[in-house]
Amino acid sequence: MDLKNFEPFLITGGAGFIGSHIVDTLCSLDLSVSVLDNFSSGKESNLNNSKNKKNFQLIKSDLHNLEILPNLLKDTKTVFHLAAYPEVRTGFENPEFTYKENIENTYNLLESIRKSNVENIVFSSSSVVYGEPSLIPTPESYGPLLPISPYGGSKLACEGLISAYCYNYGIHGVILRLANIIGSRSRHGVIWDFINKLKKNSNELEILGNGKQTKSYIHISDCVDGFLTALINSKNMVDIYNIGNIDKIDVFEIAKIVCKNMNLNETKLTTQGGTSDGRGWIGDVTLMLLDNSKLSKLGWKSRFSSHDSVSKSSKELLDEIS
């Protein structure tokens, strides 16, 4: 991939799960990369592979600090905007977090970008902006978009802001609606939760909801390839791409895979909590499968199925915490 024309890069939230993997890929290509992160959810150790590179810079701050943004963006050509409140589940209990960390911070960033020479912004949105669509697999053209969680609503609001700023101020925007991204360095989500529950009690694993929630899962390496493919090939002022797998897997099957990889063959799987209609929590989407044909036409293809992604990711996380 020829990314020279897009550097220097700034990655907001670059010490997080997805961000740090993008950083590693860009730094491995000897590209100039700056990371802005306050370590509220990311970890500096996630950047161990890149932080000693000559073209790498780490800024320990966040998008609430408006004073640093003009100087930081002065020599930036492309921004990967990944800084966000990452939890879909807890957004119900603390909707203010999703507003401040997602919507308000995106506005702050865009205001600074429009006064700079930044040419491109790549935004990590989410499949939850679709809510519960009637069309499965769901294409980018599906509408109306009716999110059922504060997190999903905040991501959709950010999409709207980015689109408006791009069209008004001549910025090139790429919006990526992500399925469930999993792999090394991830510290939230169903696989991480299962591993921690089983370490405390290997005899029984409690599953939130009815266990039939079925979604697409994609390994982080395939996700990063999707980000870069979209950036390089996007031709419109604003382009939206889904990134997910062509297949799906339910929570019960994920539990079985995690148990197998932990050599737990006698663990009892039980369901508990959740909502009356079987969701794991309020705002949990029960069925999600994205139509990836738009990105696939650009030459992108996932290497790992949902099943293989779950198996590979659980092994990676077990290795990290062993």
Structural domain harbouring 271: 184-216+247-287+303-321
Question: Do residue 195 and residue 177 come from a single domain?
Answer: no
Q: Which two tokens stand for residue 40?
A: 């509220």
**What's at 136, amino acid-wise?**
I
CATH code for the domain in which residue 170 is found: 3.40.50.720
d(CA 268, CA 86): 30
pLDDT in tens, 35-52: 999 999 999 999 999 999
Domain contains 227: yes
Domain contains 20: yes
Question: Do residue 316 and residue 265 come from a single domain?
Answer: yes
Catalytic residue among 130, 151, 165, 241: 151
Question: Do residue 188 and residue 271 come from a single domain?
Answer: yes
Residue 235: predicted pLDDT:
95
Question: Do residue 226 and residue 266 come from a single domain?
Answer: no
pLDDT in tens, 182-233: 999 999 999 999 999 999 999 999 999 999 999 999 999 999 999 999 999 9
Question: Do residue 105 and residue 204 come from a single domain?
Answer: no
Q: Note if 151 is an active site residue.
A: yes
Q: Which two tokens stand for residue 19?
A: 């961000």
Query: Do residues 248 and 289 make contact, with C-beta atoms less than 8 angstroms apart?
Result: yes
Tell me which residues of the chain have a pLDDT lower than 50.
Answer: none
Q: How many structural domains does the chain have?
A: 2
Global pTM reads 0.96
Question: Do residue 55 and residue 146 come from a single domain?
Answer: yes
